[in-house]
Structure 1
Amino acid sequence: MSDAPTTEQLTAWITRFAELVHEHRDELTALDSAIGDADHGSNMDRGMTAVVAALTEAPPDDPAALLKKTGATLVSKVGGASGPLYGTLFLRMAGAVGEGFAPALRAGFDGVLARGKAEPGDKTMVDALGPACDVLDAGGSVAEAAQAAADGRDATVPLVARKGRASYLGERSAGHADPGATSTAYLLQAAAETLS
């Protein structure tokens, strides 16, 4: 998707992501209870519910304002690492959304890398978000990017975590999908359903 997404399209994307997080809240929490502190599902659900409420109460005028409001709400409402990381993703996207969805997502990804200091293979959301950005940068569709994110999530299962709370578990973190990579895969699934 080379054209810049509209405010309406982005609203549909964020709303669908909130629905997916809510639907998969227990799954995200179960993944996080295995290798984290068991709050990723509840934190993300609370945060995305707050985002949808904020966007409904005062609909933003343009795509950048919408992404800024989404990011700021997540930073203020979501605890742990997820709030700052997802908040940074959307805040950085706001600065580049006029260039198109792919450049915006890449800007968001760069923000996540800078904030989280994680690299590919560390068993984090980076492992799902990076491949999705690579597909979009190469001219692939949002649906192909969503598949790349899902593949990236699945690739975290055998990994030993090197970042975040899961890294404290060492070898015991292997055998589970990363919760952040899993929610990121839902973010891209929502994009495929609403922006394609």
Structure 2
Amino acid sequence: MIAVRQPGRVIDTAALMSRVIGACRDAVGSEEARLCDLDRAIGDGDHGTNMRRGLEALAAEREQLAAMPLAEAMIAAGTILVMTIGGAAGPLYGTLLLEIGKGLSTGRVEFPQVFQQAVAAVAQRGRSSPGEKTLLDVLVPLSDELIKHTDMRRLAEKIQGFAEMTIDMKALRGRASFLGERSVGHMDPGAASCALLATTACRELTEAGLA
């Protein structure tokens, strides 16, 4: 990767990617039990364990990923997540990163638009829409904020609220949908992990001066 020049400083994007991956790994590791508890209420109870496994696999390759061009690194990272997270989350998180990488590889579209297209691909892969109690209930409003160029520091403060909105929703997709009305009152575990990862990434970017 190349260094990004900001007024009065140069940011090493390779080091930044490595740090973001490490921070996400640490965040998921510290919240593994909570994510499993959320999943136990409306699913299999293994979401935290699955996410930890995926992020540990990603962290194990972070130096190699950081040495790649960004688009190539995102595609490689997406492939790792598909192969290691397991369950429904692996293909969804993997699709997000794979599509971001494909979008960036064209060099013709700005990141908010690339992210928006990637979120649309996740929706298509999961055959779901916002309001159905899935990680899309975090990804879609997050995408909307990026399109509006919301400051990263402010965005980091808002993301958890997107996940909390799923508490009052009835699950319409996945194993949780079998519970019907009984799924109401519980935060979606996929939305929770998505909010955790997005918040962590935003904070790391803010600290790096890329907000």
Q: State if a TM-score over 0.5 links the two structures.
A: yes
Aligned residues: 193
Matched, 1:184 2:194: yes
Work out the CA distance in 2 between the residues paired with 1:101 and 1:38.
Answer: 34
Residue 73 of structure 1 deviates from its aligned partner by 0.5
> Which residue matches 2:209?
none
Gaps of 5+ in 1: none
Asked if the contact 2:75–2:98 (Cα under 8 Å) also holds between the matched residues in 1, the reply is yes
Write the letter of the residue equivalent to 1:195. Answer: L
AA aligned opposite 1:183? S
* Change in CA separation of 1:135 and 1:59 when aligned onto 2, cut-off 3 Å: closer
Q: CA deviation at 1:59?
A: 4.3
In structure 1, what is the equivalent of residue 61 of structure 2?
54
Q: Distance in 1 between matches of 2:154 and 2:65?
A: 33
| Matching of residue 13 in structure 1 with residue 20 in structure 2 | yes
TM norm structure 2? 0.84
CA–CA distance in 2 between the matches of 1:191 and 1:169? 33
Matches within 5 A, 1:1-196: 6-56=13-63, 59-97=66-104, 98=107, 99-196=109-206
1:53-98 CA deviation, whole Å, 9 max, x = no partner? Answer: 0223564321112211210001111211100000001111112335
How far apart, in 1, do the equivalents of 2:182 and 2:35 lie? 18
* Structure number, greater radius of gyration: 2
CA deviation vs aligned residue, 1:4-63 (integer Å, no higher than 9, x gap) = x93433332222111111110000000000001111100000011001102235643211
Amino acid at match of 1:9: L
**Unaligned residue ranges in structure 2 (runs of 5+):** 1-5, 7-11, 207-211
CA RMSD, 1 decimal: 1.9
- Over 3 Å counting, the alpha-carbon distance change for 1:58 and 1:102 in structure 2 is closer
Alignment partners' CA distance in 1, 2:13 and 2:63:
16
Maintained 8 Å contact 1:11/1:66: no
Task: Give the % identical residues.
Answer: 37
Normalised by the length of structure 1, the TM-score is 0.90
